[in-house]
Amino acid sequence: MTFTKIKHYIILLVMFFSCVNIVSANVVINKVNLEPVGERYIKLYNNSNSVQDLTGWSIKRKSSGGIEYSLVSSSRLDGKAIEGNNYLLLVNEGTYVGSLTPDVTWAKSYTFSSNNTILLYNQNDELVDDFLVSTDTTNDEDTSSGDIDNNTDTTSYTNATSVEKENPDILKITTKIISPKVVIVGIPFNISSLTTTNRKEIYQVGRFIWNFGDGYKVEVRDSNPFFYTYEYPGEYNISLSYFDNSFNKIADATNSILIKVIPSEIYINSVGGSADPYVEIGNKSNYDIDLSGWILSGSLNSFTFPDGMMILKGNKIKLSPKITKFTNSDIEYLTIVNPNKDIVATYPIKKKPSVNNNYIEKNFSTQNKNVINKEEGNVIENSNVINLNDLEANAGNTKTDLSDSTYGVIGLLVVISIGITSFLLIRKRHKNIPDYIDKEIRAEDIKILE
């Protein structure tokens, strides 16, 4: 076998294994010095050949009880970077008295102690590296080359407890679900995962099995972000099982989170007038709601809420017509549509027909009604209670009775008129009868014929 063929086989093998797991180089926590307090520091190392920008990154410490506390805020790392294959030194701004020149400092009131875990997060708030601080190691001398500011760090720490990280022989894989903790029913939300190893590798392909806790389960081959939508409010447990290859029967890493799905409860509270056609919206829920991509539509124009726009819980926001470009015609009828094209709010809100209060007082002030106690299932007698649901029907029935009475009166008047007219006509005829009919018939007026 020639050298050329061997080289080709090696290249093919490298390509094969690179397809199995895509590994991304990262900045790592290289060293932590605990004692003495005046020389306490954290050292990061960039194991790549390119410059790594640390803007947006942060460092936290986790107690033995699992609670995380801020140590180096993201604002202190803004504009900072690590050259390829180089170090970055972080110290306490008030207590550090060592001879090395620090690159970044953390607040005087912040510190860490033994059995704390130092956590390194990137600009996406993803855990990049973790480092367990321990006092079980012996004192050592840091003779690392290529240190801060391209200077060789040869300072001896004979009284210091230092821990330097080494790659372990046993591979350990962990996976983490990246998702918002609160989402809105019917709205797609972004979800992804981060799978890493204790050797600072990031696995982006494999076998990812998702279970969303609502009866839906899916298997994907990579860790790329995707969208999911819950149809009903409630609390759901999302779980993820990662398999390094398709032949594994037992998951190499698992993770689960609890996610709360809430109704939107966004409403249109009020609108302005012709001089200032503003629109005021409100949030009735107990959670902050992201309005990114939602659409407020008027009669003529529409306005799309920009990315990152939030409305806080129980809060209201007035939208100026200078921003929405709405006119007086637009605010006559408004709708709010979520990214799933569902109408979540309208203005004006349709109201039930009103009831005549004067009619209630006149006709129902003493009417006895029964009230149902929904909690206990009992019927309660109450002479002072008015059933408003019956008012419209009763009012309608009363109007029908009045109309029938009117028809009866009109009919009676017609009958009386006909009677009077008939009487007068008969009497007129009676006056035209000859007088001899009224005279008495006498005997001499009768003649017998033989």
CATH code, 286: 2.60.40.1260
For the chain, the residue count is: 450
Same domain, 63 and 148: yes
The pLDDT value recorded for residue 350 is 57
* pLDDT of 308 above 80: yes
Q: Kindly state whether residue 449 falls inside one of the protein's structural domains.
A: no
* pLDDT of 361 above 90: no
Q: What is the mean pLDDT of the chain?
A: 76
* pLDDT of 49 above 90: no
Q: Kindly state whether residue 320 falls inside one of the protein's structural domains.
A: yes
Sequence-distant (≥ 6) Cβ neighbours of residue 449 within 8 angstroms: none
**Single-letter residue type at 221:** R
Q: Kindly state whether residue 433 falls inside one of the protein's structural domains.
A: no
Q: Kindly state whether residue 68 falls inside one of the protein's structural domains.
A: yes
Same domain, 182 and 250: yes
Mean pLDDT of all residues in 302-326: 94
Choose the final residue of a domain: 294, 314, 347.
347
The pLDDT value recorded for residue 400 is 45
Same domain, 55 and 190: no
- DSSP of 58-100, one letter per residue? EEEEE-TTS-EEEEE-GGGTTT-EE-TT-EEEEEETTT---SS
Q: Kindly state whether residue 426 falls inside one of the protein's structural domains.
A: no
CA 425 to chain centre: 90
Spatial CA neighbour of 298 closest among 324, 320, 316, 270: 324
Task: Place 152 in a pLDDT band, splitting at 50, 70 and 90.
Answer: very low
| Residues of the domain holding 382 | 359-390
β-pairing verdict for 87-92 and 104-106: parallel
Q: Kindly state whether residue 86 falls inside one of the protein's structural domains.
A: yes
The pLDDT value recorded for residue 396 is 47
* pLDDT of 355 above 50: no
Task: Place 445 in a pLDDT band, splitting at 50, 70 and 90.
Answer: low
Q: Report CA-CA distances (Å) from 319 to 134, 311, 316.
A: 55, 12, 10
Please state, for a pLDDT cut of 90, what percent of the chain lies above it: 43
Same domain, 100 and 18: yes
Whole-prediction pTM value? Answer: 0.41
As a whole number of angstroms, the longest Cα–Cα distance in the chain is 182
Same domain, 72 and 87: yes
Could you give the dihedral angle defined by the CA atoms of residues 297, 299, 300 and 306, in that order, rounded to the nearest 10 degrees? -10
The pLDDT value recorded for residue 141 is 35
The pLDDT value recorded for residue 446 is 55
* pLDDT of 5 above 90: no
Same domain, 230 and 127: no
Q: Kindly state whether residue 417 falls inside one of the protein's structural domains.
A: no
pLDDT in tens, 95-124: 898 888 899 999 999 988 888 999 999 999
**Single-letter residue type at 426:** I
Spatial CA neighbour of 153 closest among 164, 168, 169: 164
Task: Place 219 in a pLDDT band, splitting at 50, 70 and 90.
Answer: very high
Same domain, 11 and 147: yes
Task: Report which secondary-structure segment, H or E, holds 336.
Answer: strand 334-337
The pLDDT value recorded for residue 137 is 39
* Strand partners for 29: 44
pLDDT in tens, 239-258: 999 998 877 788 999 999 99
* pLDDT of 157 above 70: no
Helix, strand or coil, per DSSP, at residue 404 = helix
Q: Report CA-CA distances (Å) from 448 to 140, 441, 443, 444.
A: 176, 15, 11, 10
* Strand partners for 262: 184
Q: Kindly state whether residue 72 falls inside one of the protein's structural domains.
A: yes
Domains: count for the chain: 4
Choose the final residue of a domain: 140, 164, 188.
164
Mean pLDDT of all residues in 321-329: 94
Sequence-distant (≥ 6) Cβ neighbours of residue 259 within 8 angstroms: 179, 180, 181, 182, 183, 213, 235, 236, 237, 238
Q: Report CA-CA distances (Å) from 338 to 229, 270, 284, 293.
A: 13, 19, 16, 7
